[in-house]
Amino acid sequence: MPRTLVTGGAGFLGSHLCEALLSRGHSVIAMDSLLTGAASNVGHLIANPKFELVDYDVTNYLHVDGELDRILHFASPASPVDYLEMPIHTLKVGALGTHKALGLAKAKGARFLLASTSEVYGDPLEHPQTESYWGNVNPIGVRGVYDEAKRFGEALTMAYHRAHGLETRIVRIFNTYGPRMRAGDGRVLPNFINQALRGEPLTVYGDASQTRSLCYVDDLVAGILALLEGDFVEPVNIGNPDEITIMGLAEEVIAATGTKSEIVTRPLPEDDPKVRQPNIARAREVLGWEPKVPRSVGLGRTIDYFRSLMTDEGKGA
């Protein structure tokens, strides 16, 4: 069975990937500095003899004993709160971390999958976004540390593929949600759910007409693993094209939680993208993949998870 390294393996997406890989028979090493990840995300996997959690920062020299068949590079701060608080580390993990992980893949002869992002499209002038669109990114804006780190990571990954013949895959991940999202990570859905469950006003920015397309984590993981085991080298959008305005999402959360919260507005943050919707024609064609979980179902599961966190807090857990 394959032996697989997941960097950022204790994060939201990384932990779900570790779980899915184990279920497919992989031996899995989750490597995470725990800066934004949490050991509790993989606590239920620790007893599995095929699983190992390693506390390590991938921007340093990267070595793993023994054979490796797959490397999934997911290490990175991934929310605006995180990369605005840690701009230099975000750049380092996207650049140095990707370089170290690619070097390890080359040394081990492992297939490498890069977790890129829809943020490579910036505030897009094309809608919906196709993989052939080059993007509209402000390189010196406050979000540039994340956007440009991921763009550089893609360029470096393709350079290793072309120069060294390394087997590489690139997934451009669109907004994803589900259990194990951090309650305070600053992204729109955790913010809305937490505010609603506390009976607080839901905060929207600008006129809340900006759009997002939310993909449930189980669908995302299925798409990533299909890409990993396929033979397509160029970037592939994985996300849910079911687009909704921020105002519409706030109203859905209010209805799903049963809260009586109001909606309040605040000024729009710098470089906040106005639209975000994946064109997934390539994923459908080359992977036979498309999302299956309706937002109403995924939202209910996610709200239940956040409600359980608040229950644990109330018990002093």
Average pLDDT, integer, range 57-78: 96
Residue 116 confidence (pLDDT):
98
Residue 84 confidence (pLDDT):
86
The whole-model pTM stands at 0.94
Q: What angle is formed at CA 13 by the lines to CA 8 and CA 14, rounded to 5 degrees?
A: 35
Average pLDDT, integer, range 8-31: 98
Residue 313 confidence (pLDDT):
63
Residue 272 confidence (pLDDT):
72
The pair of structure tokens assigned to 45 is 């996997």
Q: Residue 94 has what DSSP assignment? A: I
Mean pLDDT (the chain) is: 94
The pair of structure tokens assigned to 13 is 């997406």
pLDDT higher than 70, residue 301: yes
Using CA atoms of 123, 298, 32, 225 in order, give the dihedral in degrees to the nearest 10: -90
Are the C-beta atoms of 212 and 248 separated by less than 8 Å? no
The pair of structure tokens assigned to 70 is 């797959």
Question: Residue 205 CB: number of other CB atoms within 10 A?
Answer: 14
Strand 243-245 to 211-213 pairing: antiparallel
Instruction: For the chain, give every domain's residue range.
Output: 3-175+217-238
Residue 78 confidence (pLDDT):
87
Question: Residue 262 CB: number of other CB atoms within 10 A?
Answer: 10
Report which of residues 51 and 79 the model is more confident about. Answer: 51
What's the pLDDT tens digit per position in 210-262? 999 999 999 999 999 999 999 999 999 999 999 999 999 999 999 999 999 99
How far is residue 98's CA from residue 265's CA, in Å, rounded to a whole number?
A: 38
Q: Give the pLDDT band (50/70/90) at residue 209.
A: very high
Q: Which helix (H) or strand (E) holds 81?
A: helix 80-85
* Residue keyed to tokens 């699983």: 51
Q: What angle is formed at CA 67 by the lines to CA 6 and CA 164, rounded to 5 degrees?
A: 80
Q: Which of 56, 146, 177, 216 is catalytic?
A: 146
3-class SS at 265? Answer: strand
The pair of structure tokens assigned to 241 is 């094209």
Backbone angles phi, psi at 168, to 5 degrees: -130, 155
Distance of CA 181 to the CA centre of its chain: 10
Are the C-beta atoms of 158 and 168 separated by less than 8 Å? yes
What's the pLDDT tens digit per position in 137-196? 999 999 999 999 999 999 999 999 999 999 999 999 999 999 999 988 888 999 999 999
Structural domain 3-175+217-238, CATH architecture: 3-Layer(aba) Sandwich (3.40)
83 is catalytic: no
Residue 185 confidence (pLDDT):
82
